[in-house]
Amino acid sequence: MNEKHFDKILFELRRKQIPVDYKAVLTPSNRKWSVLMLMLELTKEKNSFRQGN
């Protein structure tokens, strides 16, 4: 999926007020992670952000 298509999808989600709780960018560090590992890391990040860390 190219960036323009992805931006359009995000725009439509916002327009329809559909919440997106988790977003990630592919990086050299996470490119080989499983979906489970990615979700665990995103959850840790989200919890840390909520706590102000």
| Residue-by-residue pLDDT tens, the chain, 53 positions | 788 998 999 999 999 999 988 989 899 999 999 999 999 999 999 999 899 86
Q: What is the pLDDT of residue 41?
A: 96
What token pair was written down for 32? Answer: 């080989």
Q: How far is CA 42 from CA 25, 29, 38, 48, in A?
A: 11, 13, 6, 10
Q: What is the pLDDT of residue 53?
A: 64
- 2 domain residue, yes or no: no
- 33 domain residue, yes or no: yes
Q: Total structural domains in the chain?
A: 1
- 46 domain residue, yes or no: yes
User: Considering the entire predicted model, what is its pTM?
Assistant: 0.65
The residue segments making up the domain with residue 43 are: 22-53
